[in-house]
């Protein structure tokens, strides 16, 4: 059972996450967790940059959009679908030049970011508890 | 499967890389570049899963360094489009030109214009994030395809054999150097048979000696600036349409360079020029800062531009040239006159747009292609596409000559016009916008603009436009009193190609009086070339400096009755594009297209001696893309640099000339 199939996390993660999970094998035994760690570190940085940019460059929608595009790339690569949706909505707001819309999207994005982090942390913790046996039950593809 | 994976690992540990390479595509060496660490990590593992050998870096500069240090280290490059230190398209161009490696673009953004930009910059493929493994499994085809298309037909079979033959230390090396081989066999190789697509399935028991096919063990040719400059000089000398690898090779006279090397480089060069002209076309249309009041519109000459009507032109601020179907871009190019006050222009407003504008009091004719805001937008694209060279601002130097002006305005402007080049500068135009127009260009061939590839911006801008007015309609409509004694001096334009000012294009005006083969028809050709911002010297002096690869020839009608105006945009005009025997004593050599260098045209000492400028330098003369020409002419003029463009306006295409003859620019 892939993580993205689990009810509690469905919607937050999509098929892409399954692909990422697929890539974990003996050659890269902790791949998924490594990727997730990198993701949260990078996305945290991007979100923080974006927040600063919102303040420092008011109404600079192009710049904001560029920042968000980076974040969207990360989200797509890992399959963080809800976050990705918020990224897209933020970019739409940039297109419409709506500062309130952008702010709103950003807040939602941060919320989703926090939720996802929490869920994944729990998940990995669970995996560690289950141990190698539990990991082995996942199809190695 | 696990077992297989483990075995693979073991094998890798045991065997050297050569071993892997012999089982191509297994072990294909990929360089992955992406500033997004998450994506890069996933990509790396995906590629490893495909059994490729992966090297990753999050910096484009590092990637370039790796590639340059060891030319044979990689088979394929996968790069993200949006990177902080260098634009992905720029990296793409550089890699394609310097190393001749297939490059695949990656992006979150799948917009058409972005994809198009990738294509025009030479990407083999454009993948959207998140990348799926299925897409990556097949990327090896780009490597093979490139090698096949670069080889002679009779070599293809050998290539297959090479790929499938038993491991040897040289096999991969030879495969790698196959990319240097001739491109001319492209068609033939494509016909060679489908089984070539599956080289690894070729029988392995072929004991034929493949040394012949592979040739000597030449290292991959690196097209250095110097080498490329020679190449461009040779191409210019031959004329873009006559530039065949064999002759180019002879002219270049470089040791250890094969015809195949030259051929494949020529192929890329043409592609590059094509892209530039496409960009130039776009610019021309955009540059239509022409008011609709130009009488030029009514000139029958415009009809000749029907075929060049660009659908995208209307989007630009094109003047109402459309009535004649004149490429709005063309028209714009011709009349890209801006708000320059030209009260006197009305004198000659009769026929010559140039005339009308020439007569301006300020005598400042700006060909405005882009407004500032447009510039801003465009610059992004261009900057992106510029190849690691200093971004050449697109500046056109429009040369005005006293003579021209006076002729046009009947002498009124004689003193006003000077041999200054109007420098239209515009910040880099986003190639993507320009590229968008590319599909619409129906002109035919592709404009080959001998523009140094130093920057895409430069390339795009450096489309030389040589406009020869040769339209009798113009003369008829033109109420310009053309004095008998009018003589347009030749203005040599030195055009440094890019910020480094390496290449110089020589643009000169054609002395209509002297050059006109037609009786009494005064043709002036003004070459205008784009010059890089730094190198552009706009001065009200005789020296015209422009960094551009094109020359705009604006013939000045002398005999209003029967002179035909022919606007020739000859970014790469060569002798073929000479208008009916106009003397071409000027040669514009466009600089190299990827390097700062390029042909350096000897500077004309006699500024005011009009001669037919001959643009050379990698321009394909197969067809004329007036859009591109016009576009290239049209530049945004910086207020700080005011050039007088008089001849520029005379963009009139004769009905027949355009269609029947190959024009300077090949699109």
- Structure-model confidence comparison of residues B658 and A71, the more confident one: A71
Q: How many CA atoms lie within 13 A of B470 on its CB side?
A: 30
CB–CB of A70 and B133 under 8 A?
no
Q: What ipTM does the predicted assembly reach?
A: 0.90
What is the phi-psi region of residue B451: left when phi exceeds 0, alpha when psi lies from -120 to 50, beta otherwise? beta
The pLDDT score that the predictor gives to residue B646 is 46
Best A76, A85, A117 member to test B by mutation, with max B CBs in 10 Å, is A76
- Element at B30 (helix H, strand E): strand B29-33
- For the stretch B251-278, pLDDT in tens is 888 888 888 888 888 888 888 888 778 7
The pLDDT score that the predictor gives to residue A43 is 93
What 3-state class would DSSP assign to B215? coil
User: Per DSSP, what are the bridge partners of residue B588?
Assistant: B615
Task: Tell me the percentage of chain A whose pLDDT exceeds 90.
Answer: 56
Q: How far apart are the first and last CA of chain B?
A: 52
Nearest CB among B9, B35, B42 relative to A77 is that of B42
The pLDDT score that the predictor gives to residue A94 is 92
How far is residue A58 CA from its own chain's centroid? 26
User: Per DSSP, what are the bridge partners of residue B103?
Assistant: B77
Q: Which residues of B touch A70 (CB under 8 A)?
A: 35-36, 82
Extents of the domains making up chain B: 25-149, 225-284
The pLDDT score that the predictor gives to residue B13 is 54
The pLDDT score that the predictor gives to residue B289 is 54
CB–CB of B45 and A141 under 8 A?
no
Q: How far apart are the first and last CA of chain A?
A: 12
Quote the minimal CA–CA distance from B135 to chain A in Å.
13
The pLDDT score that the predictor gives to residue B163 is 55
How far is residue A22 CA from its own chain's centroid? 17
- Nearest-Cα residue of chain B relative to residue A28: B45
What does the alpha-carbon distance between residue B284 and residue B437 come to, in Å, rounded to a whole number? 11
| Four-CA torsion B125, B629, B638, B315, nearest 10 degrees | -70
Nearest CB among B1, B35, B45 relative to A28 is that of B45
- Element at B113 (helix H, strand E): helix B112-120
Q: Which residues of A touch B107 (CB under 8 A)?
A: 73
- For the stretch B104-152, pLDDT in tens is 999 988 889 999 999 898 899 999 988 888 889 888 888 888 888 776 5
Contacts of B76 (CB under 8 A, 6+ apart): B28, B29, B30, B31, B101, B102, B103, B104, B139, B140, B142, B143
CB–CB of A72 and B133 under 8 A?
no
Q: Which CATH number fits domain B225-284: 3.10.100.10, 3.20.20.70, 1.10.1660.10, 1.10.10.60?
A: 1.10.10.60
Contacts of B514 (CB under 8 A, 6+ apart): B487, B583, B609, B610, B611
Q: For all residues of chain A together, what is the average pLDDT?
A: 87
What does the alpha-carbon distance between residue B83 and residue B87 come to, in Å, rounded to a whole number? 6
Residue B379 CA: distances (Å) to CA of B96, B374, B430, B457: 22, 8, 5, 8
Its CATH architecture, for the domain B25-149, is: 3-Layer(aba) Sandwich (3.40)
- Do β-strands B612-616 and B584-589 pair in parallel, antiparallel, or remain unpaired? parallel
Considering only CA atoms, which of B68, B455, B74 is closest in space to residue B224?
B68
The pLDDT score that the predictor gives to residue A39 is 95
Judge contact between B352 and B649, C-beta under 8 A: yes
Mean pLDDT by 10 residues, chain B (667 residues): 64 55 80 93 92 92 89 90 88 85 90 90 91 89 82 56 52 45 41 42 39 47 80 86 84 83 86 78 64 43 40 38 38 37 39 37 38 40 38 38 38 38 38 37 36 36 36 37 38 38 36 39 36 37 36 40 38 38 38 35 39 38 47 49 47 47 44
The pLDDT score that the predictor gives to residue B190 is 41
The pLDDT score that the predictor gives to residue B9 is 61
**How many CB atoms within 10 Å of residue B69?**
8
CB–CB of B41 and A35 under 8 A?
yes
Residue B647 CA: distances (Å) to CA of A40, B267, B421, B469, B654: 61, 34, 11, 9, 16
Q: How many CA atoms lie within 13 A of B544 on its CB side?
A: 44
- Max Cα–Cα distance, chain A, nearest Å: 53
The answer to whether A51 contacts chain B (CB < 8 Å) is no
Q: Is the pTM of this model over 0.80?
A: no
What does the alpha-carbon distance between residue B144 and residue B163 come to, in Å, rounded to a whole number? 10
Which domains does chain A possess? 3-130 (1.20.120.160)
Tally C-beta pairs within 8 A across A and B. Answer: 68
The pLDDT score that the predictor gives to residue A9 is 78
The answer to whether A34 contacts chain B (CB < 8 Å) is yes
DSSP conformational letter for B95? I
**How many CB atoms within 10 Å of residue B212?**
11
The pLDDT score that the predictor gives to residue B106 is 92
SS3 labels along B633-659:
HCCCECCCCCCCCCHHHCCCCCHHHHH
User: Per DSSP, what are the bridge partners of residue B613?
Assistant: B586
The sign of the dihedral angle between the CA atoms of B173, B179, B185, B189 is: positive
Quote the minimal CA–CA distance from A39 to chain B in Å.
6
Contacts of B506 (CB under 8 A, 6+ apart): B492, B493, B494, B495, B527, B551, B586, B587, B588, B589, B601, B602, B603, B604, B613
The pLDDT score that the predictor gives to residue B125 is 92
Q: Kindly indicate the confidence band of residue A116, based on its pLDDT and cuts at 50, 70 and 90.
A: very high
- Can you tell me the mean pLDDT for A55-82? 91
- Can you tell me the mean pLDDT for A117-134? 82
The pLDDT score that the predictor gives to residue B72 is 85
């Amino acid at each position: 059972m892939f993580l993205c199939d689990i009810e509690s996390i469905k919607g937050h993660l999509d098929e892409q996450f399954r692909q990422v999970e697929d890539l974990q094998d003996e050659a890269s035994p902790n791949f998924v967790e490594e990727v997730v760690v990198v993701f949260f570190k990078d996305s945290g940085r991007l979100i923080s940059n974006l927040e600063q940019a919102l303040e420092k460059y008011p109404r600079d929608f192009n710049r904001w959009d560029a920042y968000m595009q980076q974040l969207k790339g990360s989200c797509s690569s890992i399959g963080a679908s809800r976050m990705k949706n918020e990224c897209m909505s933020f970019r739409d707001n940039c297109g419409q030049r709506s500062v309130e819309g952008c702010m709103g999207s950003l807040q939602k994005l941060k919320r989703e970011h926090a939720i996802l982090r929490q869920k994944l942390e729990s998940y990995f913790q669970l995996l560690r508890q289950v141990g190698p046996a539990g990991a082995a039950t996942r199809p190695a593809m | 499967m696990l077992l297989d994976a483990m075995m693979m690992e073991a094998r890798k540990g045991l065997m050297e890389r050569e071993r892997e390479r012999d089982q191509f595509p297994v072990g294909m060496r990929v360089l992955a570049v992406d500033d997004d660490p998450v994506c890069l990590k996933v990509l790396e593992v995906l590629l490893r899963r495909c059994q490729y050998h992966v090297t990753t870096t999050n910096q484009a500069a590092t990637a370039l360094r790796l590639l340059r240090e060891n030319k044979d280290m990689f088979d394929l490059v996968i790069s993200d489009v949006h990177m902080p230190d260098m634009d992905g398209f720029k990296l793409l161009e550089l890699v394609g030109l310097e190393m001749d490696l297939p490059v695949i673009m990656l992006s979150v953004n799948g917009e058409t214009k972005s994809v198009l930009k990738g294509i025009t910059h030479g990407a083999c493929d454009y993948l959207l994030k998140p990348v799926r493994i299925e897409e990556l499994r097949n990327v090896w085809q780009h490597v093979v395809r490139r090698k096949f298309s670069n080889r002679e037909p009779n070599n293809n079979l050998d290539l297959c054999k090479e790929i499938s033959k038993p491991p040897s230390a040289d096999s991969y090396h030879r495969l790698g150097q196959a990319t240097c081989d001739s491109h001319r066999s492209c068609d033939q190789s494509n016909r060679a048979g489908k089984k070539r697509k599956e080289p690894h399935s070729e029988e392995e028991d072929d004991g034929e000696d493949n040394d012949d096919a592979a040739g000597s063990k030449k290292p991959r040719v690196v097209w250095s600036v110097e080498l490329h400059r020679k190449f461009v000089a040779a191409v210019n000398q031959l004329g873009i349409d006559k530039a065949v690898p064999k002759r180019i090779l002879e002219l270049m006279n470089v040791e250890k360079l094969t015809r195949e090397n030259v051929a494949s480089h020529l192929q890329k060069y043409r592609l590059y020029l094509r892209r530039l002209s496409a960009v130039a076309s776009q610019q021309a249309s955009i540059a239509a800062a022409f008011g609709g009041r130009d009488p030029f519109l009514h000139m029958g000459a415009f009809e000749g531009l029907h075929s060049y009507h660009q659908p995208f032109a209307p989007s630009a601020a094109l003047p109402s040239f459309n009535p004649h179907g004149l490429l709005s871009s063309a028209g714009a190019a011709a009349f890209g006159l801006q708000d320059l006050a030209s009260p006197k222009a009305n004198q000659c407003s009769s026929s010559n747009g140039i005339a009308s504008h020439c007569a301006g009091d300020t005598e400042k004719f700006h060909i405005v292609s882009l407004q500032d805001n447009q510039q801003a937008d465009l610059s992004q694209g261009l900057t992106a596409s510029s190849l690691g060279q200093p971004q050449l601002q697109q500046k056109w130097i429009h040369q005005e000559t006293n003579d021209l002006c006076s002729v046009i305005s009947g002498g009124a402007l004689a003193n006003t016009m000077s041999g200054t080049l109007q420098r239209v500068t515009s910040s880099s135009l986003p190639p993507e916008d320009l590229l968008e127009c590319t599909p619409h260009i129906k002109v035919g061939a592709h404009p080959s603009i001998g523009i140094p590839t130093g920057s895409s911006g430069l390339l795009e801008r450096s489309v030389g436009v040589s406009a020869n007015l040769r339209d009798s309609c113009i003369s008829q409509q033109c109420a310009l009193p053309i004095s008998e004694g009018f003589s347009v001096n030749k203005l040599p334009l030195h055009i440094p190609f890019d910020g480094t000012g390496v290449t110089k294009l020589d643009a000169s005006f054609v002395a209509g009086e002297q050059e006109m083969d037609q009786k009494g028809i005064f043709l002036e050709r003004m070459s205008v070339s784009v010059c890089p911002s730094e190198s552009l010297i706009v001065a009200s002096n005789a020296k015209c400096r422009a960094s551009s690869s094109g020359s705009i020839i604006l013939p000045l009608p002398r005999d209003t009755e029967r002179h035909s105006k022919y606007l020739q945009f000859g970014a790469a005009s060569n002798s073929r594009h000479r208008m009916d025997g106009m003397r071409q004593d000027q040669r514009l050599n466009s600089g190299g297209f990827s390097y700062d260098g390029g042909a350096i045209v000897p500077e004309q000492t006699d500024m005011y001696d009009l001669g037919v400028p001959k643009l050379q330098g990698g321009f394909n003369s197969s067809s004329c893309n007036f859009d591109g020409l016009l576009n290239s002419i049209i530049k945004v003029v910086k207020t700080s640099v005011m050039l007088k463009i008089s001849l520029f306006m005379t963009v009139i295409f004769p009905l027949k000339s355009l269609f029947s003859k190959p024009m300077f620019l090949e699109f």
